[in-house]
Structure 1
Amino acid sequence: MTFATSLRSLVLLLGFFLPLCAAAQNLPEGATANKDKCLGYELPYKKYSRAQVNRIQADLFQIYQEDPEWKVAASQRGQPLNDSYMGPITWSWMQRFCGHFTLAQAADIVSEFPVRLTAIAGFAQQHPTEVTQLVSREFAVWSVNHHTACTLNTQDILYRGSDAQLLQLLRCYQDSVNPPPTIEPSRTTATKVDPHRLYVLREEDFVALEKPEALVEWVKKLIDKPFADEASAALAINDLLKDQTEEWRNQIREQIIAKLTPQNTYQLTDGILESLFKSGIGDALFVELKAVPQTVYTTEESFKTVIRAAIEKASAAEISATATNPTPSGEGQAPVNSAVDNPANIKSSASQSSASQSNTIQTNTSIQKNQANLLLIVLASKQQSLLLTEESAQSIISTIPHFPPRLIQLLRVLKDIEYPEGELLHYAVQNKLIKGLLICKVDKPNTLDINIDRLSPTEKEELRTELATIFPSSVTESTDLPICNETHYQNIQREYNQSLRGAIEQVYSEPMPEYNALNIQWSGDACGCVPKEIATTAYGIYPYWHTKETPQKFDFSTFSRVAYFGLSVNNNGHLVQINAKNQAQTLVHSHTESNKAFISTARRYGSKVDWIIEKDWSEYSNEAIDSSTAPLEAVLNNLKLNIVTLLATPLTDVESVLRPYLSLGIAAQPTNGDGVTLYFKNFPTSDAAKKIFESFFNNLKQELKVLAEKRDSFHQNKNRIYVNLLIKQDEFTADEGVFTSINIDQLLNTQQLVDRNLSQIEMQDEVQSVVVLMLEEPYYSALDEIYALTSGTSRSLIMPMMIANYADMNKREQRDAMRKGMASDERFKKLAYIHESFGGGAFWPITTWDKPGYEGFNDYVATHFAPGYSESGWNEKLCAYRWQLISIMNIWLIVAIIFVLIVFYIYPQKCKKLPPYIDWLSKPATVVILLLPPIALWDYLLLVDKQFPFFSLPSLLCLSLIGLAVWAGIDSIKELKKVKPNRNLLQYQKAIASPTRTTATPGKGDEIDDTDTSDTSK
């Protein structure tokens, strides 16, 4: 690795500002061009002259001397900010200056940097109080969000403005923050949120948005509904529209109340019937009125028609009752047709005539009585009310937003993208709208939204025309588009809340699916392992409802940490599976081999597995916590115990159980996860709640640390257990609460990492925590805001979480566009921002490896998050079988040691002859086959496997085997070098030495020649 490359890693390690500025007049010798950096190159700082460094440090001191971080850095050993050497600390403060004063836009950064640095140092000398505010964290955040303010160009003034202009900009800043600006209710109001809902636009939702019948039905329900006054009407409307946003509810309520018409209405209620009965109406009429529906009648005539029918029925019933009970005088009388026919009946005829007159009088009396009853009932039922007429309702319905075709086409890009928070989807829609309106540049220059860019010029103009009718105040005719600032977003948000938000909220929410109890089947499918060269963590989140019946392929070499989203906390602090009918059959309580196989699969490729634990704390208000902390403490204490129990539970598959034995103590039996990620919604913000959470968090980390140390105490392979946080951006940027940026730094004790030369991954391992930060769109502006709010050390622990469609990212097109200076895919730029400036990136949801169109995304993340990764047989295939190879090696080593002991020590050839049944063991081929493979495998693992330790029992066995084999070989060589008697020669000498007989007997006195006449030399 070159020195320039090493310096680049060091710069990224310290988390310096992405836009870096040149610190020398000329490009020093040895500098490497790099247009991605603000300084314009990577500079070996040792090339700087002492005079240059001394001047830079003096100017930086003049500007930052009151900054607490400067004081800490300056007081470090060796005074690195006043030593005339360009070290990494001085380098980092140069980058901070570059970020504060936006020198990235300089045409010649190399020459402009020292000039601007000296100018600001002079400003600091003249205005020491003002410069402290100018380089403060709060001003940096404000300047990122206000590219223009008070008719001033913020970025241009910071870049090259005079002292007077800087003072004017500071006055504008003070006016905007004092008094504090009104905070949007939608961003800060802690309303109760159902934690088990998803926010997503499906195909049927777009159909509903094109035809907003649901919105129309709400208004129609109010037609002819009487209200006693405007207050009661407002209450009724709020109750009817209680599920809608406050902005949309207020808008509809104001329109309806403005169109309410005073009018007499008529309604029979139980109270009115009771009073009528007491006033003396007959029983028959009371019964009929009781049957009349208690409907509100808006006209007197329609009400009278119903009441007349009831009165007539009552009268008929009374007449019928009278007819069935005739008077006694009429009994047995025959009918008489004429008095003339029977003079005796003249008196009877007179009597009948009198009765007829009596019936007429009675009828008239009945009519009068009915009319009196009708008038009595009408007057009793009459009341003054406010009504929404049909005509008025139609005029309101006409104002309900209608989504034109081009707008639907624009938003269809968000189809099926699931958001855990509704506000995140709203921001995504607003981001698409502001791009479609073409009123400003959303992201950094030279990037584009491919979904907008793919529209033809005619389609773009049609889209803009359609949106202009909905967002009239946001549309401008300027041809020179500025960078989007807070004013643009405030305008679009206001009009969006008034026009489209209510309609979208009727369709965008759905409950999280039911837990299906399917076993999670993950497959790496030869994806390779997490490389040891990894510089940035890729954090993949797996929602439980994505579980399928078939295996799912993930690139675990890319996603070095994965998290299962599916656990929640009940009111007793116990872990439960979201939307599970039977909690006994979930991943929390069921620890069968098949249930937890996905953990082993991810770890097989080197990826760590976390559990995301969500909880909505809306019911724990600040007032309740201040009055009594016991309920919250009890829940968190139980939660802590349950988390420790969950992570301490060992895996029960055969490989996991045998791993401590087969690895000969290198690794312990794996347990149920590598960490937890706390996703606490609407957690109380009071100081008491803050202290309770800090105590819970620190105690949980300590207990998990003890658990990990106890588990791995006798093993060389150590595994840390993380406690992470998943928080929203508005919580992180807030001024109070548990999850603010300042409190997170204190909670994770990031200050301890400042003086240590650690990489980003090493920092995360040291703290054993990361912060998954849920960003709001537009992501580039959100990243800028987080960047300005945090230090380099803090950013090493932050993983911005983006929810986006990463399909069809073409790496070749990206390279061609950059080479030609054309606009490139903004998604590449955002990913580059993450891996250059933060400790990692989080992706919801984790993308499958074999998903069509995601090859470019997977390739980009894999190569840029691990820039030193090299392809090899181990990295691509063999690493997944690490523990199997170690087990085979260990067994082979034991067998080989036994072999050496038997062949060369227990039955050495120099003493005894090997038994026939093991005689073949002494053959050279057998020795090579049994000894060479385990030794070669041990050497290979030491070279390529970062998890294989040298100081371990397998290493001791291997070294012992080598020693025994070498010693046995030396003994064998010594034996071969010893001089041994020649058995043939000895036998011959023995034969010569024995007496022999001759054929002639020598005479007496003859001498016997006993000389051996044989020529031994022959």
Structure 2
Amino acid sequence: MTNQRLLRSLALAALLHLPLSVSHSEGTAPAKPPAAAPAAEAGCDIGPETYRKLPPETIRQIQDGLAYFGLYGNRIDNIVGRDTRAGLAAYCRQRGMKVGQDAASKQALIDELLLDSAIDRVYRGWREILASKAFSPWEAEQKDKEQIAVQLKSSTPAQIIDIIDRFLKYKPLAAKPARARWPDDHGISYQLTGDDFKALAARQSALTKLAKLKGKSFQDQAAFAAQVREALKGEADALVDLVEEYADTMSVLTLGPQGMARLKAARVPAYLLERLGDLEDPGYPSRAEVEKALQNIPVQLAQELKDYQLANQKGTAKQDSPPANPSAPPVAMASAGAAPEGGELAGEITLRLQSMSLVGANRQGAALEQIVQEMLDETGKWLPVILDQVEESTAYRLSDSAWSKLSAAAGAIPAYALPVLEGMQEVDYPLRSLFAAAARSRIEARLGEYAKSIQDDVASRQLTQVDDKFLEGLKKAKVPAELASRLAALKGKEFPSSQELNAEIAVLFKAQIDLIPAYQDFLAHLAKKKHAPDAAKAVLWSPVADCKCQPKRIKHVVYGFYPFWLAGDAQTVDFSILTRIGYYALGFDESGAIQAGGYWNAGSSQAFETAGKYRTGLDLVVSKSDWAPWAAQSREKRKAAFDNLAANIGLQLGIEPTGALSALKRYLSLGRHRPTLGDGVTLFFEHYPEEAEFIEDFGLFLAKLRQDLAASGHSVNLMLPGDALGKGIYSYPNLARWADIDDRNSEAEGVDDRRVLLLVLLQEPTTLDKKALRRQVEEHFHGAQRRNFLRAMVPVIVPDGRSPIKDDVIYMGDNFGGIGFWPLPAGAQAEQSGGIVKDEYFPQSNIQANAVCGIVCPNRWLFRLAFDFFLLASGGFLAAFLWCCECRNNFRRHFIWYLAGTVVPCFVTGMGLLYCDPSVEKFSEGNSLLFLTLLGIIIYAIWDYRQKKLEKP
């Protein structure tokens, strides 16, 4: 760029700051003469008299503006002739305007043209910038947004250009992508530990330090990261990447440290470098802005030098005689003025004056004028050099909007929410959605308590404004300071009624609720725990004291999940309240191969057999949530994978336990009963594709799996999140077909182990979610189908060990097929849940109430062995008595001993099994009289034998 071009551009920049004044800038493409004007369109008919009386200066500006847009190709002659009118008509049509006979519409066209051309010279296509999607959100965040709106409607070109400058300077390069959702699989759960709460406290401290950077700009990533690390001082270094992610980025033109170094090496005068501060940091959003800034340097410099000259003249005018010390430099007088004191400019002038060694005011004045001219010439020479060193870079800035998003993502959780979250400590949630819903519902509940208390106070006192007494009441009510400060902001504002004040208070609390999603992602990320099996650990189950068996016929299902990561911790379990336990979980790949590892193997036989002793069924949960590799396969491969998965599930369920009890079962059943590790499978297919062909594939797989497992007596269940109900494979028609809820089984009593259970994970608050679940079923089914579908559904809750569960237990029992627990109740929680579940779900049968059954049922296989032994012995003695004379005489002599050693134990063990073994429990019903008769016969035989011995001489 030449000095002449800079001067012309400088003139343009000066004109832009005058209302509606423009000049034709160099660099605009030569305008083509307009085509012959078409017939005048309605609303844009510019007649000869329309603009005849305009001032020449205004006509010149009109012609210049039309020429800029290529609508006027003649010379600028300050006359509204035919070409000018044709250009105005064309512009009128382009802008969709209308020109009537009134002066206002005529002036509006001129104003629009002059405004448009002046701004477009700086920002071509400026209307598209203002109409962009990013502009409205940016405008809404500005403190002076009302003033901006007014200026955009009616203002000078300079003011609108300034608004666009502000917008472009802080406009993000591109919308940041949404944070990646952390994929869930069978080894992930969500829980807040004590260490997590310590991390939260450390994060709050780090954010307080980081707040010092709010509103500051940094010209590159390295400088920004350095300042972030300096602010954090080693605390929460993980925030550095997060800060960079959420900071506003903008494309800027800047000199930067390297550019400044090159300019210094080129010996650019220091007084010029001193004026490049904004160009060095933070820079400008466009090259036009850089040129504009450089064009202002000569203007500013000329003004400063002029002020310096005036100050020097005033200083020398007061001097009546030369200084006492002739060797003193004349600048001593000049520097005494009010012109620039200190700085590189004053230093440069001082050095140049000293080098001239001039004496006398006249000579000093002339020399100063010469120096001023030289410096202005130097400036014109160096400006192109400076412009060549400007480079594009990405600047970073923590704006108010960016800080709000960053603080939420980084864990800036409101202080009032922390005590609420502490109630979730060590509570394990299987899904992110369940954890997020629990956190949200609890925080909402706490805010609701505060809001109700405050609004009740306002209503009772009929307050119409927030006063000191009201604020004092907030302290007494222990309302958190963060909420109290927002309420205090209403002080001094009068409301028409207490209802209006309460409405405003409701808005404040609603704003706090709306903030929850902002930090839910961070909380979920903090709570996310990845688990892996540990070969050094094992499943350790032991029954609670006085644990009883499950009866054969039960009214409701009680399902407990055992996540594999609980292994290693000894757990006391009340098996008497657990119908089934689901081992969670094994995954599988796109070929249908089940992943190896975990504790589902023969090595866990002892723990799993413990559950079986009390007739608690054991299911294997097969889980998958990432279906992308699966869906990428051809349909033939998917079907083959499903077939492979069905076969592998059968193999996993068919693993033979290695414990002594299992060997005993095989022996007693003479090989007819082959013990297996599992009693059924529960499928948890989260995020399964919802396309029709995928749903059909799943239906075929489920039918094949049920058919394959039916022969071995294994059941199949489905597990699903509550928010997935009604979608894809979990649509109501599909579930109705797969759960087999038609009326042919409606008369069955109790729980059928072969039916498909629908284990639905409920979100908190369960009080609302369980009722919503019931309503959905009622909307889709009627009559017997509704009843059977509800019987098949088992809602699953996540107890926190603090909140009572009695309401949930009763509601699930009255409305659904039972209740599920994640994880299974153990230890103190088993004691808390056990009594409630027993009272509501299990009748007080012999098995559940009889102390004898508490011994017989868990050890029924040993009692069966004993019964078989004594029965065979009794049969053997009876055969010997009938066919062996010597044996008959021996039996007669020792009848009591043979009876006590065979028949009585056989009768006792048999009676114990009849009343306490669920497998034969039905034979005891209605046969009590028969058993008493047999007992009477035995007693009579003993009595008769004794009597005969006593009668002998």
Matched, 1:761 2:751: yes
CA drift at 1:658: 2.7
Equivalent of 1:679, from 681, 684, 693?
684
CA drift at 1:218: 9.7
Cα-to-partner distance string for 1:581-621 (whole Å, 9 max, x where unaligned): xx4xx445x53xx4222221101011000111111233158
Equivalent of 2:766, from 779, 790, 812?
779
Aligned partner of 2:911 in structure 1 is: 939
Aligned partner of 1:792 in structure 2 is: 787
Equivalent of 1:641, from 644, 647, 655?
647
**CA 1:408–1:534: 2 relative to 1, 3 Å:** same
CA drift at 1:523: 1.0
CA drift at 1:872: 1.2
Runs of at least 5 residues in structure 2 that lack an aligned partner in the other structure: 1-176, 222-237, 267-278, 284-378, 453-472, 491-496, 778-785
**8 Å CA contact 1:529, 1:557 repeated in 2:** yes
Equivalent of 1:906, from 883, 890, 898?
883
Alignment coverage as a number of residue pairs? 587
**CA 1:393–1:771: 2 relative to 1, 3 Å:** closer
**CA 1:468–1:434: 2 relative to 1, 3 Å:** farther
**CA 1:742–1:253: 2 relative to 1, 3 Å:** farther
**CA 1:747–1:501: 2 relative to 1, 3 Å:** same
SS in 1 for 2:852: helix
**CA 1:676–1:834: 2 relative to 1, 3 Å:** same
For residues 611 and 471 of structure 1, the distance between their equivalents in structure 2, rounded to whole angstroms, comes to 57
Aligned partner of 2:434 in structure 1 is: 424
Aligned partner of 1:131 in structure 2 is: none
For residues 406 and 182 of structure 2, the distance between their equivalents in structure 1, rounded to whole angstroms, comes to 31
CA drift at 1:692: 0.2
Equivalent of 2:723, from 718, 726, 730?
730
Equivalent of 1:841, from 800, 804, 819?
819
Matched, 1:462 2:440: no
**8 Å CA contact 1:210, 1:404 repeated in 2:** no
CA drift at 1:463: 4.2
**8 Å CA contact 2:538, 2:599 repeated in 1:** no
Cα-to-partner distance string for 1:877-910 (whole Å, 9 max, x where unaligned): 33211111111111111112112222x123225x
**8 Å CA contact 2:447, 2:509 repeated in 1:** no
- Percent identity over the alignment is 19
Report 1 or 2 for greater relative contact order, CA contacts < 8 Å, sequence distance ≥ 6.
1
**8 Å CA contact 1:795, 1:838 repeated in 2:** yes
**CA 1:887–1:298: 2 relative to 1, 3 Å:** same
For residues 379 and 481 of structure 1, the distance between their equivalents in structure 2, rounded to whole angstroms, comes to 60
For residues 623 and 683 of structure 2, the distance between their equivalents in structure 1, rounded to whole angstroms, comes to 6
**CA 1:488–1:522: 2 relative to 1, 3 Å:** farther
Aligned partner of 1:695 in structure 2 is: 700
For residues 405 and 750 of structure 2, the distance between their equivalents in structure 1, rounded to whole angstroms, comes to 56
Matched, 1:749 2:740: yes
For residues 661 and 560 of structure 1, the distance between their equivalents in structure 2, rounded to whole angstroms, comes to 26
Matched, 1:603 2:612: yes
Equivalent of 1:534, from 537, 543, 554?
554
Matched, 1:930 2:925: no
CA drift at 1:409: 0.9
CA drift at 1:663: 5.0
SS in 2 for 1:419: coil
For residues 408 and 540 of structure 1, the distance between their equivalents in structure 2, rounded to whole angstroms, comes to 30
Mapping 1:270-669, distance limit 5 Å: 298=281, 382-389=390-397, 400=408, 402-438=412-448, 461-463=478-480, 466=483, 494-498=514-518, 500-525=519-544, 526-532=546-552, 534-548=554-568, 551-577=570-596, 583=597, 586-588=598-600, 590-591=601-602, 594-620=603-629, 624=632, 628-662=634-668, 668-669=673-674
For residues 488 and 723 of structure 1, the distance between their equivalents in structure 2, rounded to whole angstroms, comes to 50
Runs of at least 5 residues in structure 1 that lack an aligned partner in the other structure: 1-185, 228-243, 283-295, 301-370, 443-455, 578-582, 709-719, 810-824, 977-981, 983-1018
**8 Å CA contact 1:753, 1:793 repeated in 2:** no
Q: TM-score, normalised by structure 2?
A: 0.54
For residues 616 and 892 of structure 2, the distance between their equivalents in structure 1, rounded to whole angstroms, comes to 46
Aligned partner of 2:248 in structure 1 is: 256
CA drift at 1:695: 0.4
Mapping 1:163-174, distance limit 5 Å: none
Matched, 1:832 2:795: no
CA drift at 1:527: 1.1
Cα-to-partner distance string for 1:62-94 (whole Å, 9 max, x where unaligned): xxxxxxxxxxxxxxxxxxxxxxxxxxxxxxxxx
For residues 585 and 733 of structure 2, the distance between their equivalents in structure 1, rounded to whole angstroms, comes to 29
CA drift at 1:677: 0.9
**8 Å CA contact 1:801, 1:844 repeated in 2:** yes
CA drift at 1:950: 7.9
Cα-to-partner distance string for 1:822-860 (whole Å, 9 max, x where unaligned): xxx5x3222211111111111111121x32x65332211
For residues 397 and 664 of structure 2, the distance between their equivalents in structure 1, rounded to whole angstroms, comes to 78
CA drift at 1:412: 0.6
Letter in 2 for 1:508: A
CA drift at 1:947: 1.0
For residues 492 and 630 of structure 1, the distance between their equivalents in structure 2, rounded to whole angstroms, comes to 52
**CA 1:759–1:263: 2 relative to 1, 3 Å:** farther
Letter in 1 for 2:668: L
For residues 663 and 639 of structure 1, the distance between their equivalents in structure 2, rounded to whole angstroms, comes to 31
Q: TM-score, normalised by structure 1?
A: 0.50
SS in 1 for 2:551: coil
For residues 772 and 788 of structure 1, the distance between their equivalents in structure 2, rounded to whole angstroms, comes to 17
For residues 514 and 559 of structure 1, the distance between their equivalents in structure 2, rounded to whole angstroms, comes to 25
Cα-to-partner distance string for 1:228-274 (whole Å, 9 max, x where unaligned): xxxxxxxxxxxxxxxx9xxx99x9989725xx5845143779xxx9x
**CA 1:925–1:254: 2 relative to 1, 3 Å:** closer
**CA 1:940–1:204: 2 relative to 1, 3 Å:** closer
**8 Å CA contact 1:437, 1:467 repeated in 2:** no
**CA 1:898–1:847: 2 relative to 1, 3 Å:** same
SS in 2 for 1:212: helix
Cα-to-partner distance string for 1:654-680 (whole Å, 9 max, x where unaligned): 321231432567x71211210111111
Cα-to-partner distance string for 1:279-299 (whole Å, 9 max, x where unaligned): xx99xxxxxxxxxxxxx9747
Aligned partner of 1:877 in structure 2 is: 855
**8 Å CA contact 1:209, 1:504 repeated in 2:** no
For residues 518 and 419 of structure 1, the distance between their equivalents in structure 2, rounded to whole angstroms, comes to 22
CA drift at 1:866: 1.1
**8 Å CA contact 1:261, 1:388 repeated in 2:** no
**8 Å CA contact 1:542, 1:845 repeated in 2:** yes
CA drift at 1:441: 11
**CA 1:510–1:459: 2 relative to 1, 3 Å:** farther
Compare 782-791 and 218-227 and name the one that shifted more: 218-227
CA drift at 1:647: 1.4
**CA 1:382–1:649: 2 relative to 1, 3 Å:** same
For residues 472 and 515 of structure 1, the distance between their equivalents in structure 2, rounded to whole angstroms, comes to 55
Aligned partner of 1:124 in structure 2 is: none
**8 Å CA contact 2:721, 2:762 repeated in 1:** yes
**CA 1:618–1:923: 2 relative to 1, 3 Å:** closer
For residues 761 and 472 of structure 1, the distance between their equivalents in structure 2, rounded to whole angstroms, comes to 60
Cα-to-partner distance string for 1:151-193 (whole Å, 9 max, x where unaligned): xxxxxxxxxxxxxxxxxxxxxxxxxxxxxxxxxxx99x99844
CA drift at 1:795: 1.2
SS in 2 for 1:877: helix
SS in 2 for 1:572: coil
